[in-house]
Structures are given as C-alpha cells and as structure tokens.
A and B are shown apart, each in its own frame.
Chain A
C-alpha cells in the first residue's frame, strides 16, 4: 500500500497533470469552445486584431509599390543580393517548425503535454509558412511569373533545373505547407463537429457542418482516424527535418565562405525549433491569461517549452562555435578572413555579438528555476531569442556576401524603409491571422484534452486484454 502510494507520488512528479482544475468532458468542451461560440467578442480582441490589421497594411502598401517600381525599392544590390527577403524567409519558415515538432515529434514520443498547445502551434506554422512563402516569390523580381518554378509542359519547351537547391526549396516548402495544412485540418475535424453540435446560430451551424464533413465520432472512423493521424505524424517528422535542411542547402551547397559548411543542416534545424518555441511562448503566454486558460496551458507547459528552448539554443550556440572552428581549421584564407571579418574587423561586427548576446547569453538564464518558472521572464527571453534568430540570418547572409572574393566587388548593405515596412507588415499579417484563428476555431484540441481527463481511462473489467490508455493516439 505504502509502495503503491510512493509510486503514484513519483509518477506525479515525473508526469505532472496536464489539466489542472476539475473538469469533465462537458465543462472542458464548454471552456474551449466558448471562446469561439460566445456571441460577444471581447474588446481586447478588437484592439489586438485592429493593430495587427493596420500593421498588415504596410505589407500591402509595400507589395503594391514593389509591383509598380520593382525590387529597386529594397536595399538589395551587388554584392548583397539576398538581404532582407531571404533573411525574413528563413526566419519565418524557421518559426513554423516548432508547430510541426510539437504536433508530430512530441506525438510520436508520447509526450502528453503537447495536447493543449499543438493546435495553435500548428496554426502558427501555417501562418508563418504563409508569410515565409511571400518573400522568395517577391524576391524573384517578377512574382507574376512565379509559376515558372513549377514543372509543367510549357510553350518554351524548357524544364527547371532540379540540380539547383532553389528548386529543392520549391518542393520542400510547398510540401511542407500542404502537409501542415492537412495535419492541422485533420486534427480540427472532430472539434469542428463539436462546434457544429453546440452552435446556436443557424449560419455557423451550417458552416461548421460543412467544415466537419459530417463527422459523427463513429468507432470505425476513430480507428482509421487515429491510424491516419499517427502516420501523418510519422511523415511530418522527417519532413520537418528535411525542410530546414533543404533551406540550409540554399546556402551550404554554394561555394561561398560563410555558407559552404557541412554543419548547416542540423544547425539550421535546431535554430528553427529554437525560434519556433520562442514564438509559441510569445503567443501562448498572453493567450492563456486573456482567455483565462491557465488550467489547460499550465505553468508546467511553459517550463517544458523553456527547457526545449534551452536545449535547442545550446545546439545553436554549438553551431556558432563550430562555424568559427571550421573556418580556422580549414586553413583556407578566404574562410578565415570571412570569420575574422564577421567577428572583429568587419563593419558588421556588432551584429555578430548582438546575435551571441541574444541567442547565447540570454538563454543561460533558463538554467535557473526563477526565470524558467516565471512567465514574464520566459516571454522576455522569447522575444530576445526571436530577435536573435533574425540576427543570425542577417549575419549569415549579409556578412558572407558583403566581402566578395575580390576587393573590387566589396560593398555594403543598408536596408531601406521598404525593407522594414515589408518585414513589419508580415508580422502584422501573421498576428492578424492568429487573432482570426483564435476567434473562429478552437485554439486547443478539445477531443485530445478529453482523453487526458481521468475518466477517459477504461477501468479493468475482468477481461484480460492489454490496456494501452497512454496518450491520445496509439495503436
């Protein structure tokens, strides 16, 4: 008896409850779906959405001007031709990675704490990929011809060059966006059915009815549903690792000092997850306060995310160290010069050390309980990390390009106001989409949270079959 109680205590310590507070299936359903179904939209929502929407107009204005005048409105010029559009592309797509990591990899690892954060992390992925996708398309200069990147039989009788990493990118990013959308939507179907059955408004009933495809929770359907969901997780896991690896190939397959490094794929993937968890924290810390959901997105969730951020951040710092070491150990004069220039002698030395401060130093606070357990400090560190990850791409792209092989082709890069307005515009666009999502669809996976409730377990009843009962998706 004593042993059993000890065991339970130990288990609770290792696996703290992921739903705090007393809930049954009905009340937890009400709690989450009320955010969507409540008639009155909170004033705060209008303020948040309004600000994001206004900021998003910067994107619209810049893109309009871009279409009229061309890419000359940006600061991109020889030798720094990649600049802001590619920095922002990599930044956004990196942020997206945490969503897939939470929904797929943590599912395969049977981590129950993913359950109350996976839905909006997946939404975050989708919106981040949408922002990311804009940049390379607009960077082509003639975005109305972007479909030339797709292999289709054409009157020019030409085909794409599949030996180019830029073509790999097209396939990786479109596949990633498509699979993320499917994963998110499949997860939503049972919850949309819940909204359909709870909605009072006739039009919402019809809209949610159509979106739920007539889901009725049949045991046979659940059986195939769980297989499909698990397989999608299994497919998304190598996908998410491949996408940022392929993004890093854009750099590392080229022959440029500062880009041509074998460490890039793992270092980029770790950086992506690092940045993504920072963004998940930025979103969920205010969300759980505004919508009073601290019992579903608990402090434990935040602490776990903080730990993931620390771990991936340390991998990224290791990447910085290895970059410097490889440059020295290669004994190649161009490599050594690039690194020396980047860190000390070049005009952009400050960006490198700012990056180390943001990504290397700031996360060291996460070793301490005081910071890890304080939502305020987690939020601050997450914002700093987001800035740091942007600086990382700035350092990789700008410092590697601005000193070409011949001093005659050296140059400097300075962003114009339109570089900034486009970047800030996408941030507004991203948050506007997040606000719409929070109002229109359940932000937390309702059916998966139901499985976390103690009642959901089937009690032993004489038959001698195995009970898995672990996690929301098994078999």
Chain B
C-alpha cells in the first residue's frame, strides 16, 4: 500500500441490504461512516445514527431576517428618509407594507434553505476521495455504498475490511486518498 487510504467502501444491491448493514456498522461502534445511494432512504438516518439537521432553524432565521429587512426597508424609506403623504395614508402604512415584507420573508428563507443546505453539505466539492473508486459511478444510478472512514477510532484496515466482508456486500473497495 503506497497510497494513503481514505476508508473502505462496501457495495450493496438493495436498500434493505444496505440499511441492515448500516445498522450493524452502527452497532459495532463505528461513527465516521457514510452511505451513498441514488435516492434518499429514510431508514438510513436512523441506521447510521444521523442527527437531525439544524437546517430548519437556519431557514427560520432567514425568514425572520427577511421580514425585518422588508419592513425595515419600507419604514426607512417612507418614515425616515422620504416621508411624503400619498393618498392620505399615514407614513407607516402597515397594511400596504405587508406584501413586500412577506415576499422578502419568503425570499430570504428560501435562500437560507438552499444555500444553507449546500453549505452544510460542504458543496460544491468537485473532488472527493470516493470518486476514486471506479464503481462509485453507479452510486448515482442503481448501487448502494457504505463507507467507513480511516479516521474512525475503531478503524483497523484488516479488521474493518473483514467486518465489512462479513456484512455480505457485493464487494469491498479501498478508497484512495
């Protein structure tokens, strides 16, 4: 082995197989793990012990920021910087200010959802060691992969490989760094 190993990748054929395998990996005490699938598998969150993301709070904060920004903009322009009577309405015409503030709320919450998700996922990331495994092309098509990273405290090349082999995968690959 000249190359540094990033981890070990086991390939599976079906959702059930990989979820069962992931549960065993979790029960064996591995924490630096990941799974790759061509579509989301809900059971995987529990099987891998993935904690619920804080993303919803980020989105909420984005929405509140949008609301404040939208109302603040209209308050500043109509009350502070350029107070002018239009149609006999008060400077701070709240009912009329609702639609722009509402749209700003949605806009910033939407930004928070999309860019927050991409940021927390560490994307964009055009290079990742798992792409070094040629069969990994199939992770966006029909195959399921389970990864144990080399920096897992319980990781040991021989033992972990043997353990993954025991989970009945199609094949186990070394992932080069």
Mask, B142-153, CB within 8 Å of A = 1, is 100000000000
Q: Is A35 an interface residue when CB atoms closer than 8 A count as contact?
A: no
Whether B15 lies near A225 (C-beta < 8 A) is no
Nearest CB of B to A340, in Å:
30
Among B35, B81, B93, B142, the most chain A Cβ lie within 10 Å of the Cβ of B142
Q: Is A22 an interface residue when CB atoms closer than 8 A count as contact?
A: no
Chain B residue total in the interface (Cβ 8 A): 71
Nearest CB of B to A364, in Å:
36
Whether B53 lies near A171 (C-beta < 8 A) is no
Q: A residues 247-282 with Cβ under 8 Å of B? A: 249
Nearest CB of A to B38, in Å:
6
Known contacts A231-B55, A459-B16; is-contact A162 B97 (Cβ 8 Å)? yes
How distant is the Cα of A96 from the Cα of B140 in the complex, in angstroms? Answer: 30
Among A159, A215, A219, A448, the most chain B Cβ lie within 10 Å of the Cβ of A219
Q: Is A197 an interface residue when CB atoms closer than 8 A count as contact?
A: yes
Q: Is B56 an interface residue when CB atoms closer than 8 A count as contact?
A: yes
Which residues of B sit under 8 angstroms from A370, Cβ to Cβ? none
Whether B127 lies near A24 (C-beta < 8 A) is no
Chain B, Cβ-Cβ closest to A28: B142
Q: Is A2 an interface residue when CB atoms closer than 8 A count as contact?
A: no
Which residues of B sit under 8 angstroms from A197, Cβ to Cβ? 137-141
Q: Is B48 an interface residue when CB atoms closer than 8 A count as contact?
A: yes
Mask, A175-214, CB within 8 Å of B = 1, is 1001100100110001001101110000000000110011
Chain B, Cβ-Cβ closest to A228: B117
Q: B residues 10-25 with Cβ under 8 Å of A? A: 14-16, 19-20, 23
Known contacts A186-B114, A231-B55; is-contact A451 B39 (Cβ 8 Å)? yes
Chain A, Cβ-Cβ closest to B120: A224
How distant is the Cα of A26 from the Cα of B137 in the complex, in angstroms? Answer: 12
Known contacts A217-B37, A457-B15; is-contact A223 B141 (Cβ 8 Å)? no
Chain A, Cβ-Cβ closest to B34: A218
Interface of chain A: mostly helix, strand, loop or mixed: helix
Give how many A-B residue pairs fall within 8 Å (CB-CB): 210
Nearest CB of A to B176, in Å:
15
Whether A461 lies near B20 (C-beta < 8 A) is yes
Q: Is A369 an interface residue when CB atoms closer than 8 A count as contact?
A: no
Among B14, B38, B104, the most chain A Cβ lie within 10 Å of the Cβ of B38
Which residues of B sit under 8 angstroms from A227, Cβ to Cβ? 53, 55-56, 117
Q: B residues 85-104 with Cβ under 8 Å of A? A: 86-87, 89, 93, 96-97, 99-100, 102-104
Surface stretch bound by B, among A63-71, A343-351, A385-393, A467-475: A467-475
Whether B104 lies near A473 (C-beta < 8 A) is no
Known contacts A158-B82, A159-B78, A459-B16; is-contact A224 B117 (Cβ 8 Å)? yes
Which residues of A sit under 8 angstroms from B120, Cβ to Cβ? 224
Known contacts A186-B114, A214-B123; is-contact A246 B53 (Cβ 8 Å)? no
Q: Is B43 an interface residue when CB atoms closer than 8 A count as contact?
A: yes
Whether A160 lies near B77 (C-beta < 8 A) is yes
Which residues of A sit under 8 angstroms from B67, Cβ to Cβ? none
Of B23, B63, B110, B141, the residue contacting A29 (CB under 8 A) is B141
Mask, A448-468, CB within 8 Å of B = 1, is 101100011111010101011
Which residues of B sit under 8 angstroms from A168, Cβ to Cβ? 99-100, 103
Whether A219 lies near B100 (C-beta < 8 A) is no
Which residues of A sit under 8 angstroms from B167, Cβ to Cβ? none
Which residues of B sit under 8 angstroms from A326, Cβ to Cβ? none
- Which 5 residue pairs spanning A and B have beta carbons closest together? A25-B142, A228-B117, A159-B77, A213-B124, A168-B99
**A residues neighboring B (CB under 8 Å):** 24-26, 29, 151, 157-163, 165, 167-168, 171-172, 175, 178-179, 182, 185-186, 190, 193-194, 196-198, 209-210, 213-228, 231-232, 235-236, 238-239, 242, 246, 249, 447-448, 450-451, 455-459, 461, 463, 465, 467-469, 472-475
Between A and B, 30 residue pairs with Cβ closer than 8 Å are A25-B141, A25-B142, A151-B77, A157-B82, A162-B78, A171-B70, A171-B104, A182-B110, A185-B114, A193-B140, A197-B139, A198-B140, A216-B140, A219-B35, A219-B37, A219-B50, A227-B56, A228-B113, A228-B114, A228-B116, A231-B109, A232-B110, A235-B59, A235-B63, A235-B113, A242-B99, A242-B103, A447-B39, A450-B39, A458-B41
